[in-house]
Amino acid sequence: MLEFRNVTKRFETPGGQEVNVLQDVSFTVDDDEFCVVVGPSGCGKSTLLNLALGLVPVSEGQIIHNGKVVESIVSSDVGYITQDANLLPWSTVLDNIMSPLEIRGVPKAERRAQAMEWAEAVGLGKFVDFYPGQLSGGMQKRCSIARTMAYDPAMIYMDEPFGPLDAITRTVLQETLLNLWQTRRKTILFITHDLVEAIALGDTVIVINGQPGSVKARIPIPLSRPREIRHLAADTEFVELHTKIWSYLEPGVESMA
Amino acid sequence: MSTRIESRSTAVAVDGEIVAPKTSSRASRDRKWRLKVSIGQVVAILAILAIWQGISGAIIPAYLISSPTSVISDTITLLQTHTMWTDISVTAQELILGYAIGVVFGILVGVLMGSIKFLSGVFEPIIAGINGIPKIALAPLFLLWFGLGIWSKVAQASMIVFFVMYYNVYMGMLSISPMLVKLFQVMGAKRGYVARKVVLPSLSIPIFAGLKASVPFAMIGVIVGEFIAADKGVGYFVLQATQQFDSAGLFSGIIIMVAMVLIGMRIVTFCQNRVLFWQKQGHGR
């Protein structure tokens, strides 16, 4: 379980002024919940994730991860999937997927087998000997998902992972992610600026808006699972949710864009 | 190992499909183009040699510029003498030792400065200041410190190589992706793992850039050292030839130096192709 308690984050500008990026943010992510944080660019979404991972310290308030206050880099039982795939360009797809298993001291034969299994699961079975530079952006992203799933962390943080992809690839990958999550439940905190993605994936959508960013709404998504993302746009419930979430994003969006 | 790599580089993956390598007509066009360039190069070199041969003696006195034919015959004769091979082996020793010492220290200092902020804060301006010295001006000092033998030349070469390596590695350290390092920390990687699997491979590109650039620089250091004071070595031979107005011998000496540098470069390129095989394939997309 992850809990934000009245978290405020301040940064100092090069001019020496203090600027609040996040203001009094409180919310919880339950175990096995798929929680999506959505907000316009510049509202502090990525900062929120960096705080949760302990990559940067909070200014006020507390973040509690599995009963412990986050004070330094969280590195036990968590996964992190970033906007760029961040693969090792000098390692093959299989070696990349194996690296977290190697860190955990899994014996070589076993980590090979596990990595192979995950490569198959994300559709990279034929490309295990390829180098990241030989893969398309979507395939690199698949590889980074497989790398994270391979060591089976209880919680995964995702920072706009599908942001740089084209719309078709994005939809396919969202479906892949949901299928993996359906078979192997995990707590996910997913950051995005894409409303459709937020509704399509999440159990809960947390809307962050404003400068400094603060929580505007916590909206449960009652859409039944499994979901067919490519056909969601025609669903009336989806359209209602979309309109509702937009209403929380509306104030101030014009000035930010 | 190498055959596996080759088979990889012939195909490129595009979301779920393997795309065929270049079509055969494109390949044959490439081959024709390369042949054309090679022929052009040979013709250009032959033309330059022909002009050189033509003006030698006729327009410019032969003792100033010699001629291709006498340079070639001189080089062949020289390579059959015992003294030339002694000179070559002395220069080669100086070159290898100077290069190796400069490379090792350059990498060490570069890594240290790149990983400890306090060190780079203190020493960066000092190193930049020392680098400002025209290093050839230090040759008499090295002679004083290390004597007439090979070590004054080794010191001169390693001094120059050190700065080339140091700057390449230091800049390489600064350009390592902090995001990649953070990601591995979140994955649970300890310092040693990050150093081995992330930092070192990231440095391989700047290290090889430095290794390549350093070969001719090492030769400059060695030759300058031999020019100042020596009784053996290719540089010493060239100096002797000059003093005797033996321009054919002078050119022969230069040809031998160039050959040594080119061999050094080939060795580095060979190692680079083994280590950086992953990099070449990235540029296709």
* d(CA A79, nearest CA chain B) in Å: 6
Which residues from A are below 8 Å from B281, CB to CB?
Answer: 131, 133-134
Interface membership of A139 toward B (CB under 8 Å): yes
How does residue A28 score in pLDDT terms, banded at 50, 70 and 90?
very high
Is the pLDDT assigned to residue A24 strictly greater than 80? yes
Question: How confident is the model at residue A250, as a pLDDT?
Answer: 80
CB A103 to CB B193 under 8 A? yes
Where are chain A's structural domains? 1-77+154-224+252-257, 87-152
Which residues from B are below 8 Å from A100, CB to CB?
Answer: 187-188
Question: How confident is the model at residue A256, as a pLDDT?
Answer: 57
Question: How confident is the model at residue A14, as a pLDDT?
Answer: 87
The stretch A26-48 carries a mean pLDDT of 90
CB B188 to CB A134 under 8 A? no
Residue with tokens 């250009």: B44
The stretch A95-119 carries a mean pLDDT of 94
Q: What is the spatial distance between Cα B191 and Cα B63, in angstroms, rounded to a whole number? A: 64
pLDDT digit string, tens, across residues A123-152: 999 999 999 999 999 999 999 999 999 999
Both tokens of residue B109? Answer: 């200092």
Question: How confident is the model at residue A254, as a pLDDT?
Answer: 66
Both tokens of residue B239? Answer: 């100096």
Q: Which residues 189-228 on chain B approach chain A with CB closer than 8 angstroms?
A: 189-190, 193, 197-198, 201, 204
Preferred mutation among B15, B179, B274 to probe A, highest tally of A CBs within 10 A: B15
* d(CA A80, nearest CA chain B) in Å: 7
Question: How confident is the model at residue A42, as a pLDDT?
Answer: 79
CA distances from B150 to A34, B23, B231 (A): 70, 55, 10
CB A146 within 8 A of CB A178: no
What phi, psi does A221 have (nearest 5°)?
-110, 105
Choose the closest CB to A134 out of B185, B186, B281: B281
CB A131 to CB B14 under 8 A? no
Is the pLDDT assigned to residue A27 strictly greater than 90? yes
Q: Which residues pair with A69 in a beta bridge?
A: A64
Question: How confident is the model at residue B2, as a pLDDT?
Answer: 41
Question: Is ipTM beyond 0.95?
Answer: no
The stretch A181-206 carries a mean pLDDT of 92
Strands A68-69 and A18-29: unpaired
Q: Which residues 29-58 on chain A approach chain B with CB closer than 8 angstroms?
A: 53, 55
Question: How confident is the model at residue B85, as a pLDDT?
Answer: 95
Question: How confident is the model at residue B1, as a pLDDT?
Answer: 39
How does residue A252 score in pLDDT terms, banded at 50, 70 and 90?
low
Terminal-to-terminal C-alpha distance of chain B: 24
Question: How confident is the model at residue B237, as a pLDDT?
Answer: 94
Where are chain B's structural domains? 23-58, 87-284
pLDDT digit string, tens, across residues A153-176: 999 999 999 988 888 888 988 998
Choose the closest CB to B187 out of A91, A100, A136: A100
Question: How confident is the model at residue A233, as a pLDDT?
Answer: 82
Strands A187-192 and A2-12: unpaired
Second CATH level (architecture) for the domain A1-77+154-224+252-257: 3-Layer(aba) Sandwich (3.40)
CB B182 to CB A55 under 8 A? yes
Bin A242: left if φ > 0, else alpha if -120 < ψ < 50, else beta. Answer: alpha
Q: Which residues 73-92 on chain A approach chain B with CB closer than 8 angstroms?
A: 73-76, 78-80, 82, 84, 86, 88-91
Q: What residues have CB less than 8 Å from A160, skipping those under 6 apart?
A: A45, A46, A83, A191, A192, A193
CA distances from B222 to A140, B95, B136, B274 (A): 48, 6, 10, 28
Q: What is the spatial distance between Cα B261 and Cα B92, in angstroms, rounded to a whole number? A: 10
Contacts across the A-B interface (CB distance below 8 Å): 89
- What distance lies between CA B82 and its chain's CA centroid? 28
pLDDT in tens, chain B (285 residues): 344 444 444 445 555 455 555 556 788 888 999 999 999 999 999 999 999 999 998 898 888 888 999 999 999 999 999 999 999 999 999 999 999 999 999 999 999 999 899 999 999 999 999 999 999 999 999 999 999 999 999 999 999 999 999 999 999 999 999 999 999 999 999 999 999 999 999 999 999 999 999 999 999 999 999 999 889 999 999 999 999 988 899 999 999 999 999 999 999 999 998 888 777 554 433
Both tokens of residue A86? Answer: 């961040």
Domain B87-284 has CATH 3.10.20.30: no
Q: How many CB atoms lie within 10 A of CB A251?
A: 11
The residue of chain A with its CA nearest to that of B180 is A86
Q: With 0-12 CB in 10 A as exposed, 13-18 as middle and 19+ as buried, what is A10? A: middle
Both tokens of residue B114? Answer: 């790149």
Terminal-to-terminal C-alpha distance of chain A: 34
Q: Which residues of B87-104 are buried (b: 16+ CB within 10 A; e: fewer)?
A: bbebbbbbbebbbebbbe
> For residues A225 and B17, which has the higher predicted lDDT (pLDDT)?
A225
What share of chain A has pLDDT > 90, as a percent? 60
Interface membership of B177 toward A (CB under 8 Å): yes
